[in-house]
Amino acid sequence: MRVKELEEENASLRSVIILKDAKIAQFESKVKELTERLNKNSSNSHKPPSSDGYGKKPAFPKSKCGKQGGQDGHKGGTLLMESNPDVTQPLIPLVCDCGHDISNEPLIVGEQRQVHDIPRPKKEVIAFQQYNVQCPCCGKVNKGQFPAGVNSAVQYGTRIRTLSVLLNTDYKIPVKKISSLLGDLYGITPNEGSIMSNNRRCYEILEPVEHRIKEEIKSSAVAHSDETGVRVEGKLHWLHTTSTLMCCWSC
């Protein structure tokens, strides 16, 4: 009788063990699945880079394996002589090595060399002088009209504002360095508020263009979407872009 009870108990325990083994296998499979899911990123799956979160590391330039300089098949560029140089500086010898005066002798054109350079930067100040004219008929005083955009007694011109926006938005130069650069080149040192105001003004002017680009992309049969990581003050941000062959929209 006792043997039979032990056999039944043993069979029951075996059933429990089999059931627990099945549950353990199920849990191990789930843990493996979750671990693989956590280890997935943009480099080993179809997930976008933005899903990597703050774990994304800064991109470093790839090591150069090929030869330096111009590559095979690359069309090189070289400076060419200008047929109409801006300045021609004659180099005329006045005294021969023997000491004889040759300043009045006929000149023979010899070798020519050219230096390509940029003109010395110079600030240009345009003063608009308003004149008043009184009408002899009715006595009304008529004032000359200032050009559109000339609203202050002293202000920066369009070219300076445009260059400021270009340097900051396209060339990614910080506003403080833009002020220093303009100061070194032109003696003009706009403050940070002026530089950021130029960006806002450009944004407002280009708002209709941005709207047009968005509409063109939305109506396109095919559009390409992409994203890239951008670090701002040590924090990771994401720049998402959508483009076609003709248009590009970033947000």
DSSP tag of 168: I
pLDDT above 70 as % of the chain: 89
| 70 pLDDT higher than 80 | no
Q: Which parts of the chain fold into alpha helices (H)?
A: 2-39, 158-165, 175-186, 192-218
| 216 pLDDT higher than 80 | yes
Distances (CA, A) of 100 to 95, 106, 108, 139, 250: 6, 14, 18, 78, 73
Q: What is the mean pLDDT of residues 199-223?
A: 93
pLDDT of residue 14: 87
CA gap 197, 206 in Å, rounded: 14
0.75 exceeded by the pTM? no
Q: What is the mean pLDDT of residues 166-177?
A: 95
Q: What is the pLDDT of residues 77-124, one digit of tens each?
A: 789 999 999 999 999 999 999 999 999 999 999 999 999 999 999 999
